[in-house]
Structure 1
Amino acid sequence: MSNNQEGLRRYIVMSKDSYLADPLNIASLQPSTGTIKLATRARVAAPAPKMRVLDSLHENGPKLVEMGPEGELSLRLSSPHLKIIPEVFYHRQWERFRVHQRPARPAGKRVAVKKAKKTAAKKGAKTADAGRMKLAAGVSVSATSFKVSVVASSGGRPIGGAHIVAFTNFAARQGSEATTGANGQATLKLLSPNQALERVYVYAPPGFWGFYAANTTGTKLAQIKLTPIDVRDPTLLLTQLYGKLPANAGTGVTVGIIDSGVDGTHPDLRNVTGGLNCVSDEVRGNPAAAQNWRPALTEGEHGTHVAGIVGGSGSASGFRGVAPGVKLRSYRVFPDHPRPPLNNGASNFDIAKAIDTAVAEKCDIINMSLGGGPKDDLTRAAIDRAIAAGVVVVAAAGNDDRQPVSFPAAFVECVAVSAMGRIGSFPKTSIGSSDVASPKGSPLATDFVADFSNFGPEIDTTGPGVEIVSTLPGTSHGSLSGTSMACPAVAGFAAYLLAKDAALKPKTGTDRSRALKDALYACCKPENFGRDYEGFGLPLP
């Protein structure tokens, strides 16, 4: 019974009354390779629909099921005590642009190409890929392109693995992209050297700052120089804000990282104590895969970067996160490979499983640097259970360029975090320069709300989210931007507060989660961005 056949869809079935309920604890609603025959609706001349239970959160908890639209209608009618929720997906909240459309070839050139091909065909020439055919007017028929060389600013060493994204029309995401090889060179196809480029982003490999240019051409960008990152640089924003916190900040506190997995072998992340692979599709047929909480094979660096912001120890490199004394747990919800069609998001079912596990494993704080999906009752119910257990849930507000706060951060139970930056904490040529926008801070006008950050009345705090340097898989470090980066800085600061306040630790349940949130908000300093951009402000010691 495939999700791609017969219009099958995936849903979460749960009780309308509570997260755990006895009616869900029956044999027919336990995971199985078989199918359940559902009741046929009156006036529907069709065979009885079927449903398959794929996974379950506890024997008497929410079920991940697969059925067709008729099955969903039948179950809704025959079981009014159940709530049927579509499976939805949330995404990493980092800022990373991609090309969606290739540049259009000029109309005159398209006509010339057709004429040239027709002439060549009459002469018996091979036209499928004839190379560089010359027109009578001297116009080249082949697609134009140009090469870009990326080197280190010091010494000129070629840099491989730099991803170049050049937009001719940024709003339409039209342009070309390519990645440099070992020789530091990349070819941008379908663009001419003198063509106007509205924006160019270079996403650097570990160890280097990225690069940004606006209103330029390929000729001007023939060679791009990347600046190396110094993790001990005192002007790094995380260091400016939290570098004076104690080296043992957060001791005795456990933070759960619900993300793309964490590299616990990184020298600066020796405080990762374990975790769980919560991706149901990977674990269902291979229970041993539950221990694969390491970075996902696709875009897995996100979770390791987030973890380093919360609690990078700095013992090896000199880099440190906000609360180096914390224990970290990794709950992977992003899959190794995108689900068809190209869905690399995290399922709400897997997120709920991660929240449940984090609570069961005594996490004090949960960080969720994800969002962008629709509001859903399952994620909210799981968050409610975490809050009731005394856990504080910190979530990224989203990177939709000043759109409303995304879910799950928009749930009032979460600490919703926007992203701010500071001019001077990153090189002028880095990608962070593209994120500088109003509103600016007052009296510190070098502070700003990131151009990508969402905003709204749900915002509780702001946090450092522009060009934040942190750990990457292996032994390296790099800079990323997004509310994904601001969120763990706030989570780390909350861990610092919980560890140092003896009055908070004995509290339990909602009293504890409420008290910790109150303590966090009391430490916030307004940047004067405005209420909907910063909430209570920026948490500072």
Structure 2
Amino acid sequence: MEEYVFIPDQRSSGEDVVVALEKVVAIDTELDFLAAPAGGIGFALPVTVRPMPVADELTTRGLEVLEVVPQSGVTLVRTSIVGPAPAAVGGTFHPVVNYTMAVADVRVGRLRLTGSLGPSGAEFFSIALQSAGNGNPVSNAVATLGLKNGGQQLTAVSDSAGIVRFGLRAPAVMDAMLAVEPGFAGHWGHFRRKADLPSGSVIVLDPIDLTSAADSLRHFLPPGPAGSGKGVVVGVVDSGVDRHVDLPNVDGDEDSSIGHGTHVAGIIAGNGANGYGGVAPGARIRSYRVFDDPDTGIARNFEIHRAIEQAVADGCHVINLSLKFERDANPSQDDRVLSLAIENAAEQGVLVVAAAGNDFRRFVAFPARHRDAIAVSALGWEPGMPANAYDRWTLSSDRGDPDRDDFFASFSNEGHAPTRIDLIGPGAGVVSTVPGDRYAPMSGTSMACPAMTGAIARMLSANPAILAMPGNRARHQAMRQLAFASLRKHGFGAVREGGGMII
């Protein structure tokens, strides 16, 4: 049996949808499948309908209702009815689509990498990791060694003494790539493209300095005053948000341990001291966890649709989507399940801000390219990262004008037609909150997106008349116009930065 998402022709109650689905298994004649709007599967009537079966007969007749979104009537079903998708009275069926977080590297998927301490024995190539702050060993850090000959990559984790042993018998490596991921250990990690390393080399990791040095986020968008963003509710549809000493204004689902949603929330509304707060520290965060599995890092369109609908019902003004289509080969491809939720949000006066994606200059990913969403690309600031920080892999030769320290992030997507970029935000080497009352850097349009979400929240807080408008398309348009009212361009051109960055 395959799973599909059923979309009723009109917004319906859960009971109405179940009634419509019961008709599917009651049809007594062969169905003629026809292409339905927006990629769904429909069929032509007339048909002969037997008396309605009782609900518990649905499964035995080949259709099982798994869950109904009460606000929209969108339904997750499992079916064995023959055909590419079953036909339904009063609606269409659509495929289940997978989404991933729009973070630009693999660290989120390997935060809990175990069983990879590497081989034992002095003959194996090793390095030692130390903190530059106190000289202590750094344990449980993921390190990758890329060898020039053959392009082989070896990955292992540092032990309690900070030693990383790779599966390579060699006294030294030449012209190798070395990457030590930051994880949640309070350091910047390490990245070198061409390193000559004798076995036993000591690699010093720069600690995260929360007292003085600005990262790219605080360089471009210094945190607002304590009340900045007050009165604005932001829905974060992500991996959940962990309890954190600097995230007092959070309700909803807790982090699944991935850490991505906690990082996003801190960018929007963190209350960190010494200049390491979020863009709108007075905003209220409402968390909706859709990335439940830290191993796969995948969320389905049905769960994201459900979360957006719930965020609207809960009174969120802005919704942050730091996520993207997992496989997105067509710049015009549409996921009707998520499109419907975004359109419903706009009709009820809610603004959706979405990450443009991290496909290294490809077109804008879905859902950021939806006409009712604001698509955000990423830039960075080179002085905001230590000389050997892991996140320096995000640097590019595409430099700002007039500030040559600004760069368009190497990973960021662009607004190639028919897609477009609306805004640009800091997304390279951004330090924010992570589980365990800690801070860590991450890179991606996942980070640029909440930076602009926070900036919009800050502007909305200063414009209470817009917040007080009825929840309809007019309020959505007013919010959107406000987001574009005060922008700064960085010299990357409209294809890369749209109108620029909110200031």
**For this structure pair, what is the TM-score category when the shorter chain's length is used for normalisation?**
0.7 to 0.9
What letter corresponds to residue 488 of structure 2 in structure 1?
K
**Relative to structure 1, is the Cα distance of residues 306 and 191 closer, same or farther in structure 2, using a 3 angstrom cutoff?**
farther
Query: Given the superposition, is the C-alpha separation of residues 36 and 199 from structure 1 closer, same or farther in structure 2, using an over 3 Å criterion?
Result: farther
- For the aligned residue pairs, the C-alpha RMSD in angstroms reads 3.0
Q: Which has the larger radius of gyration?
A: 1
Residue type of the partner of 1:175? Answer: Q
How far does residue 430 in structure 1 lie from its aligned partner after superposition? Answer: 0.6
Q: What is residue 52 of structure 2 aligned with on the other side?
A: none
Kept in 2, the 8 Å contact 1:51–1:71? The answer is no
Aligned to 1:443: 402
Q: What whole-Å deviation, never above 9, does each CA across 1:255-307 have from its counterpart, x for those lacking one? A: 011000101x21100111x22xxxxxxxxxxxxxxxxx21114xx21110000
1:54 paired residue among 66, 69, 83: 66
Could you tell me which residue of structure 1 aligns to residue 104 of structure 2?
95
Cα distance change, pair 501–59 in 1 and its aligned pair in 2 (3 A):
closer
Selected match of 1:294 from 246, 249, 254: 254
Which of these residues, 293, 311, 314, is aligned with residue 269 of structure 2?
A: 311
Any residues of structure 2 matched to 1:383-394 within 5 Å, and which? 383-394=342-353
Partner of 2:234: 255
| Contact 2:21-2:89 at 8 Å conserved across structures | no
Q: In the alignment, residue 435 of structure 2 is paired with which amino acid?
A: P
1:199 aligns with 2:160: no
Match of 1:427 among 340, 363, 386: 386
For 1:99-138, list aligned pairs within 5 A. none
Q: Which residue of 2 aligns with 1:223?
A: 202
Distance 1:49 1:422, change over 3 A: same
Instruction: Please say if 1:243 is aligned against 2:235.
Output: no
2:384 alignment partner, SS class: coil
Distance 1:221 1:235 in 2: 33
Judging changes above 3 Å, is the alpha-carbon distance between structure 1 residues 9 and 252 closer, same or farther for their aligned structure 2 residues? same
Shift of residue 206, structure 1, vs aligned partner: 2.8
Q: CA deviation at 1:65?
A: 1.1
Write the distance in 2 (CA, Å) between the matches of 1:475 and 1:388: 38
Which residue of structure 2 aligns with residue 367 of structure 1? 320
Matched, 1:150 2:129: yes
| Cα shift at 1:219 | 2.2
Deviation (angstroms), 1:400: 1.1
8 A Cα contact 1:143 1:190, kept in partner: no
Matched with 2:159 is: 181
Percent identity, please: 34
- Equivalent pair of 1:14/1:24 in contact (CA under 8 Å): no
Higher mean Cα deviation, 226-235 or 413-422? 226-235
- CA distance in 2 between partners of 1:69 and 1:29 (Å): 12
Q: CA deviation at 1:515?
A: 1.4
Flag the 1:149–1:384 CA change in 2: closer, same or farther, 3 A.
same
Pair 1:57–1:211, CA change in 2 (3 A): same
By how many angstroms is 1:38 displaced?
A: 7.0
Contact 1:151 1:225 in 2 (8 A): yes
8 Å Cα contact 1:146-1:218 kept in structure 2: no
Match of 1:458 among 420, 428, 444: 420
Displacement of 1:336: 3.4
Change (3 A) 1:524 1:146: same
Cα distance change on mapping 1:146 and 1:220 into 2, 3 Å: closer
Residue equivalent to 2:7: 14
Quote the Cα distance in structure 1 between the aligned partners of 2:335 and 2:468.
33
| Kept after mapping to 1: 8 A contact 2:338/2:367 | yes
* DSSP 3-state at the match of 2:467: coil
Distance 1:49 1:222, change over 3 A: farther
Quickly say closer, same or farther: Cα 1:152–1:38, change in 2 above 3 A. farther
Residues 418-468 of structure 1 show CA distances to partners (whole Å, capped at 9, x for unaligned) of: 010011011111123221113211011111110001111421000000110
Q: Give structure 2 stretches of 5+ with no counterpart.
A: 33-59, 110-118, 329-333
Normalised by the length of structure 2, the TM-score is 0.83
The alignment of Structure 1 onto Structure 2 pairs a total of residues equal to 455
Q: CA deviation at 1:334?
A: 0.5
- After superposition, give the CA deviation of every residue in 1:18-67 in whole Å (9 maximum; x if it has no partner): 3437994334748xxxx967767479xxxx97121111111871111112
Please give the per-residue CA displacement for 1:383-412, whole angstroms capped at 9, x wherever unaligned: 001111111101111111111111111112
Normalising by structure 1, report the TM-score. 0.78
Q: Structure 1 CA distance, aligned partners of 2:94 and 2:479?
A: 32
Indicate the residue corresponding to 1:326 in structure 2: 283
- Give the match's secondary structure for 2:464: coil
2:462 to 484, 500, 520: 500
Q: Distance in 1 between matches of 2:175 and 2:2?
A: 42
- SS of residue matched to 2:337: helix
C-alpha distance in 2 between matches for 1:422 and 1:221? 33
Query: 1:322-345: CA deviations, max 9, x gaps?
Result: 00000111100001354xxxx431
Q: Is the 8 A contact 2:2 2:78 kept in 1?
A: yes
* Distance in 2, Cα, partners of 1:250 & 1:42: 54
